């Protein structure tokens, strides 16, 4: 067994690990398992297991909130996208995140937190009834295991490319580790590990951009080299090339970025994807719950420095990488390998172990986020109502904690299966964006109308969500059958794959909203008295007016937003 373990670890790859590097990785695995074992004594009730007892400070909840999104897929995928599209990939971190995170903290968290829901589908049950809850829960559970599989495969691919580790070994060892510590400590264990992983990710991933910028002579030197290597195509401007689809490497126009990404996908993900919202619901009080996304947004603005910069530096020092399909034909290195190649270029013994540990921590964080969200939604929004409908009896809270642990086990096993399915996908990032347009974009339409419009009815919420989801999947199938359909969906024959994802999300949201409004006007709404705590205008929200200005969430949200605007101007 020891010989097999060593063989799996020390296979040939781009680089090889010394025993000091291996020791760092082994210590990390032991540490995360130790945290799970220690915290099992604090997870006795459903609130403990699924919401960490609602005892987290705003800083812990905020760091877990951002860490759950910072997986190996982010580190590897967006570094590759930065090499392919240049600085335009930064939009997914700035306009594609910051406004939505601030909106979640200031506008939406009061309703989630006051309603005492365990999940976003749980809120839909209170607002629209069992039909909308069950539809959103099933689609969300399906999406989380698919996303978990994507994270798992991305991690295994990184380990195979960098170190030559057997892909099956990487998938099984890492996934079993996540399964054990989440089954032991639930969300509490996941959150504490995510805070640890956040520190490790920054400590390990920041090495490459720092050393790389030194080599190329800083930002100006990097830009100069990129322009020399790629005289055709603008890779270093954020907004000035978005006037037309053909003016930028991404083949997208500003409408798709602002409304498709910046509004629909961004707000949909950050305000309704339970993977991240669950972390905020663990906060100890409403002010902490409102501050957590604001704290997370401040760190989110900095993430491009460890995710996007390696891809840009790669354009300066490693021209010639090609797309995945062309790499398979020619044997050349692909965009997806830029981060491993940069690590091989810059990191020596010890530092390499820290960098690899950062990637493993990113994988653990991303997968644990999906698994804990899946177990919560399965237990409270699928299993519990079905169990009650059959037995007509309430059961002890411990029963649902045990079900959550079994759901964790099953979710990991299903995720392993989806990881092998993703192995055959042509583009990981397009796959992920397609999932968001299927499930997140229409869900945002349903949730935002439910929170802000008291006239929305149960039938409107259900049929709007159903129509938005079906239309998004339908548009995706349409383009697969007839590639010319992309020009219709995006409104231009110059549009490329990423533009398709943005516009499909936008159209599915519009369809969801239109159907919800139409059906709501044709059906009877709930009495206003039944909407207390669920709809803005029907709910008396706690005021922050008695707090000093510097302790009010709206003040810090304003600071973050000003910094966001300044960054857009600097990199225009």
Of the CA atoms within 13 Å of residue 42, those in its CB half-sphere come to 18
324 vs 458, more confident: 458
- Assess whether pLDDT exceeds 80 at residue 275: no
Closest to 373 measured CA to CA, from 132, 65, 75? 65
**pLDDT recorded at residue 400:** 73
User: Which whole number is the average pLDDT over 389-400?
Assistant: 75
**pLDDT recorded at residue 464:** 94
Least confident among 126-130, 144-148, 162-166, 322-326: 322-326
pTM here is 0.75
**pLDDT recorded at residue 488:** 84
175 vs 138, more confident: 138
**pLDDT recorded at residue 457:** 92
User: Which whole number is the average pLDDT over 440-449?
Assistant: 86
User: Which whole number is the average pLDDT over 84-100?
Assistant: 87
Alpha-carbon span 232 to 234, nearest angstrom:
7
User: Which whole number is the average pLDDT over 347-351?
Assistant: 69
Is residue 218 left, alpha or beta, with left meaning phi > 0 and alpha meaning psi from -120 to 50? left
- Assess whether pLDDT exceeds 70 at residue 97: yes
- Assess whether pLDDT exceeds 70 at residue 19: yes
Q: How many CB atoms lie within 10 A of CB 154?
A: 27
Average pLDDT, the chain: 77
Q: How many CB atoms lie within 10 A of CB 429?
A: 24
**pLDDT recorded at residue 362:** 67
- Assess whether pLDDT exceeds 70 at residue 187: no
List of residues 6+ apart from 226 with CB closer than 8 A: 86, 235, 236, 312, 315, 316
- Assess whether pLDDT exceeds 50 at residue 11: no
- DSSP assignment of 401-437: HHHHHHHHHHHHHHHHHHHHHHTT-S-HHHHHHHHII
- Assess whether pLDDT exceeds 50 at residue 169: yes
Quote the DSSP letter at residue 539.
S
**pLDDT recorded at residue 6:** 40
**pLDDT recorded at residue 327:** 58
Of the CA atoms within 13 Å of residue 317, those in its CB half-sphere come to 25
66 vs 226, more confident: 226
* Structure confidence by residue, pLDDT tens digits, 194-246: 677 677 777 777 888 888 889 888 888 888 888 888 777 678 788 888 778 77
- Assess whether pLDDT exceeds 60 at residue 424: no
**pLDDT recorded at residue 198:** 73
For residue 515, CA distances in Å to 134, 468, 507, 523 come to 19, 8, 12, 12
- Assess whether pLDDT exceeds 70 at residue 5: no
**pLDDT recorded at residue 316:** 86
Least confident among 119-123, 125-129, 219-223, 366-370: 366-370
Q: What is the pLDDT confidence band of residue 10, given thresholds at 50, 70 and 90?
A: very low
In percent, how much of the chain has pLDDT > 90?
A: 8
* Structure confidence by residue, pLDDT tens digits, 48-63: 455 544 567 778 777 7
* Structure confidence by residue, pLDDT tens digits, 469-522: 999 889 988 988 888 888 888 777 777 767 788 888 889 999 999 999 999 999
List of residues 6+ apart from 357 with CB closer than 8 A: 24, 25, 28, 200, 204
Backbone φ, ψ for residue 283 (5° rounding)? -65, 150
User: Which whole number is the average pLDDT over 329-346?
Assistant: 73
**pLDDT recorded at residue 506:** 87
- Assess whether pLDDT exceeds 70 at residue 349: no
CA 418 from centre of chain: 17
Q: Which of 344-353, 396-405, 522-531 has the highest mean pLDDT?
A: 522-531
274 vs 570, more confident: 570
**pLDDT recorded at residue 8:** 42
Domains (range + CATH), the chain: 27-570 (1.20.1730.10)
User: Which whole number is the average pLDDT over 90-98?
Assistant: 88
Quote the DSSP letter at residue 168.
H
């Amino acid at each position: 067994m020891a010989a097999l373990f060593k063989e799996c670890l020390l296979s040939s790859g781009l680089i090889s690990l010394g025993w000091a590097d291996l020791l760092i990785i082994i210590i990390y695995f032991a540490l995360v398992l130790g945290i799970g074992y220690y915290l099992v004594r604090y997870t006795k009730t459903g609130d403990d297991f699924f919401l960490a007892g609602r005892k987290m400070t705003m800083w812990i909840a905020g760091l877990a909130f951002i860490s759950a999104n910072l997986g190996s897929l982010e580190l590897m995928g967006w570094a590759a996208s930065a090499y392919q599209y240049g600085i335009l990939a930064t939009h997914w971190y700035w306009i594609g995140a910051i406004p939505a995170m601030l909106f979640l903290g200031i506008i939406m968290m009061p309703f989630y937190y006051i309603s005492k829901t365990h999940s976003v589908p749980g809120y839909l049950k209170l607002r629209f009834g069992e039909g909308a809850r069950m539809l959103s829960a099933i689609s969300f559970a399906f999406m989380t295991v698919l996303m978990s599989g994507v994270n798992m495969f991305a991690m295994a691919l990184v380990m195979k490319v960098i170190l030559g580790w057997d892909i099956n070994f990487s998938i099984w060892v890492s996934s079993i580790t996540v399964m054990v510590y989440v089954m032991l400590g639930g969300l509490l264990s996941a959150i504490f590990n995510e805070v640890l992983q956040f520190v490790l990710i920054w400590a390990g991933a920041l090495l490459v951009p720092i050393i790389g910028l030194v080599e190329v002579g800083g930002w100006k030197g990097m830009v100069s080299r990129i322009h020399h290597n790629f005289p055709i195509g603008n890779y270093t401007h954020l907004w000035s090339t978005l006037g037309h689809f053909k003016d930028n490497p991404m083949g997208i126009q500003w409408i798709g970025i602002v409304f498709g990404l910046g509004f629909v996908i961004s707000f949909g993900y950050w305000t309704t994807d339970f993977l991240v919202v669950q972390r905020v619901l663990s906060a100890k009080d409403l002010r902490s719950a409102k501050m957590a996304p604001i704290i997370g947004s401040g760190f989110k603005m900095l993430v491009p420095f460890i995710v996007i910069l390696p891809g840009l530096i790669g354009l300066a020092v490693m021209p010639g990488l090609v797309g995945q399909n062309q790499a398979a034909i020619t044997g050349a290195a692909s965009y997806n390998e830029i981060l491993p190649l940069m690590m091989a270029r810059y990191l020596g013994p010890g530092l390499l172990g820290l960098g690899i540990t950062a990637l493993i921590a990113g994988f653990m964080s991303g997968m644990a986020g999906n698994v804990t969200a899946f177990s919560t939604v399965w237990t409270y929004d699928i299993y519990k109502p079905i169990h009650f409908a059959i037995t007509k009896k309430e059961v002890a809270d411990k029963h649902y904690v045990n079900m959550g642990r079994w759901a964790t086990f099953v979710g990991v096993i299903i995720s392993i299966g989806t990881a092998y399915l993703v192995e055959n996908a042509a583009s990981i990032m397009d796959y992920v964006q397609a999932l968001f347009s299927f499930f997140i974009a229409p869900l945002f339409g349903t949730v935002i109308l439910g929170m802000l419009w008291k006239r929305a009815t149960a039938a409107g919420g259900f049929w709007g969500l159903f129509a938005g989801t079906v239309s998004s999947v339908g548009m995706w199938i349409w383009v697969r059958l007839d590639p010319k359909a992309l020009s219709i969906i995006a409104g231009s024959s110059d549009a490329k794959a990423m533009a398709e994802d943005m516009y499909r999300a936008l159209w599915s949201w519009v369809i969801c909203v239109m159907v919800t409004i139409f059906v709501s006007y044709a059906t009877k709404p709930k009495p206003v008295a039944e909407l207390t705590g669920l709809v803005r205008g029907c709910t008396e929200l706690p005021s922050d007016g008695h707090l000093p200005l510097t302790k009010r969430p709206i003040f810090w949200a304003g600071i973050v937003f000003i910094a966001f605007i300044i960054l857009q101007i600097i990199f225009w």
